[in-house]
Structure 1
Amino acid sequence: MGRLGMIGINTMAEKEFTLTYEFQNVGELGDRQNLDSPKEEHFGMEWKMSIDHRDGHLKVFLNTDVTENQEIHFDCTTKIFSKNKERTHSESDTRVFTKYGCWMHCTKIDWKTLNDEYLNDGKLEVEVHVKIRKNVLFPREPLRSFGEDTKQFSDITLKVADRRFYVSKLYLSSQSPYFATLFLGQFRESEKSEIELKDVNPQDLQYFLEFLYAEGGICEYTVQGILAIADMYDTPVAIKKCEEFLIDKSKLSLKHKLELAGKYRLEELKKVCLDKIESKEDIRSVVPENVDEMDPKILGELFKKTLTLI
């Protein structure tokens, strides 16, 4: 076990943070053995360090969960401190996390030098400062077309920005009370062949329609967009499937999941997230800097948990 150090976090705009951890019993590590720091959440992702004894060196690695469609470009400065911080081994580099490399080698030091000059009764303090330059999410390939090639099978066109989606009134109405009222009710829109949807991201609508027609396509990249549109257009099946994905498969942080649970009234997700909060550190990790941004009911539940931990 180790001791969690103080974390330095700059403003959100700069996207910088520092992981600091004191590893214990480092000198006892055998070849190809490793130790991990606890996970910490920064900017909606969980990060941790690992030290590894390999080939006569101690190596330091950085880890975060990267989704299939994601790249994280960042600068990192890694420091290994000797007893009383009299000596520092430091290395800086620019790296890219992809789905093919969620562990990133940061620095290494000769094992004999480590034992002679850096270990303090087997303890070793390691620091990694990270500056995220770019966090890229790439859209996946469409699962289904709703373009001109499907027009002959459509009886209604949804216009979003400069894109048109050719769909079926009856099918959408069977999935959504909102669309049933819009297409089949007494409103004038029911007589139109094209309806413009406001405040909708066309890519999110693509993913939403793919789900309705194929009941698939929910992933880390698409879940929030599908959820937003499903909530806007009252689509219970899509909301339920998004909630199940967030509970069973998503690697989003606990803080992010709680935000979605509050925003979209996902009671089962909220319960699962709250059950995972067992310490004051857990509570601190999910509370935003501005508590007014948190759902009042969730804030109330966290307050109750705080009282039990006093």
Structure 2
Amino acid sequence: MSGKEFTLRYEFENVGELGAEEIKKTPEEEHFGVKWRIQIKHWGDYLALFLYSNVAGNQNIHTNLTPKIFSKNGEKTRSVSESWVFKNRKRDWDSLCWSRLTGWQTMKNEYLDDGKLEVEIHVKIKKMIGFRKELRSFGEEMEQFSDVILKVEDRKFYVLKLYLSTHSPYFTTLFLGKFQESEKSEIELKDIYSQDFQYYLEVLYGENGIDDDTVEGILSVADMFDTPLSVKKCEDYLVKESKMALKKKLELAGNYRLDKLKKMCLDHIKSRADIRSVIPKNPGKMDPMTKRGFTLKWVFEDVEKMGEEGKY
């Protein structure tokens, strides 16, 4: 997605009365399916300005941002420009902070109009990753075709126990085992993102929803819930269709024990330079089989080089 722009504009009141570390924030606004808000803060001797976005799961929003404040008569502005990628950082909202947009006293003397401060942030979205139209609904309209509700974060998914159980031993135990949850009509699932679970269910229900933006999230859920069919579909996609970098593919292969993908990656590595290009910053986190494959290639390269030089 590209070419998306919007402007958030708000007039804060009683700004000069803010004490140290106190904040004011705007109501939320929704643009392009995402909620946004502005916040100001009295931060030491400066005015700090924040832009918040509620990105979720594996979503990323690549932006160019231009925040502005306006003087009393509108003849003077203070602005900066910056690029930023909003993404989920294990909290509800991600934010960018301009911590020293202007001095606090300068703001009070030159920009406040009867205690009011006019703030504007222009947002130009360069790219949105992890956003697409959902291929299948699991909302309330599916209630008559379901027998259990799975709650993930703030979303409810209406599904059939037996269908999920035929694909996942985890759900077999959860729904049909002798546990308290098996008797409940609504069960909360923790430690996963709702958007990843949506994509996971789509694949399980036969939709072709795997792409480079969704595959990692689907794998994480399928691995957690022991769903071999979904894992296989993800691996087939990564082997045959994905345009991901080799380094990322190898990381996924190690994390989710994707042997076919791992073999394909190792087959594409022909030299020490190739090996260096895919080794992560912390090689200790690589799975042992991948490191063993690298070691063997390294040895074979040395042997071939020795042969070319007539040393054996």
Q: Same fold (TM over 0.5)?
A: yes
**Among 132, 139, 153, the residue aligned to 1:147:** 139
2:181 equivalent to 1:202? no
2:174 equivalent to 1:185? no
Q: 1:138 to 1:236 in 2, by over 3 A?
A: closer
Aligned-pair CA distance for 1:136:
3.7
**Among 245, 252, 274, the residue aligned to 1:260:** 252
Q: 1:180 to 1:138 in 2, by over 3 A?
A: closer
Rg larger in structure: 2
2:291 equivalent to 1:299? yes
Within 5 Å, which residues of 2 pair with 1:42-121?
none
RMSD across aligned C-alpha pairs, in angstroms? 2.4
Instruction: Please tell me the residue identity of whatever aligns with 1:298.
Output: T
- CA deviation profile, 1:131-162 (whole Å, cap 9, x unmatched): xx986414110011111111121100001111
Q: 5+ unaligned residues in a row in structure 1: which ranges?
A: 1-68, 75-93, 96-132
Aligned-pair CA distance for 1:295:
1.2
Secondary structure in 1 matching 2:205: helix
Instruction: Please tell me the residue identity of whatever aligns with 1:244.
Output: D
2:214 equivalent to 1:222? yes
2:168 equivalent to 1:176? yes
Q: 5+ unaligned residues in a row in structure 2: which ranges?
A: 1-58, 65-81, 84-124, 303-312
Separation (CA, whole Å) in 2 of partners of 1:290 and 1:227 = 22
Aligned-pair CA distance for 1:215:
3.9
Q: 1:135 to 1:296 in 2, by over 3 A?
A: farther
Instruction: Please tell me the residue identity of whatever aligns with 2:132.
Output: R
Separation (CA, whole Å) in 2 of partners of 1:73 and 1:250 = 25
- For residue 289 of structure 1, what is the aligned residue in structure 2? 281
2:213 equivalent to 1:231? no
- For residue 241 of structure 1, what is the aligned residue in structure 2? 233
Separation (CA, whole Å) in 2 of partners of 1:256 and 1:70 = 17
**Among 255, 263, 278, the residue aligned to 1:271:** 263
Secondary structure in 2 matching 1:214: coil
Instruction: Please tell me the residue identity of whatever aligns with 2:201.
Output: L
Q: Aligned residue pairs: how many? A: 187
- For residue 83 of structure 1, what is the aligned residue in structure 2? none
Query: Which TM-score applies when normalising by structure 2?
Result: 0.56
Secondary structure in 1 matching 2:156: strand
Separation (CA, whole Å) in 1 of partners of 2:295 and 2:188 = 44
**Among 143, 149, 163, the residue aligned to 1:157:** 149
| Same amino acid, percent of matched pairs | 56
Separation (CA, whole Å) in 1 of partners of 2:154 and 2:300 = 54
- CA deviation profile, 1:16-64 (whole Å, cap 9, x unmatched): xxxxxxxxxxxxxxxxxxxxxxxxxxxxxxxxxxxxxxxxxxxxxxxxx
- For residue 272 of structure 2, what is the aligned residue in structure 1? 280
Secondary structure in 1 matching 2:157: strand
Separation (CA, whole Å) in 1 of partners of 2:146 and 2:260 = 36
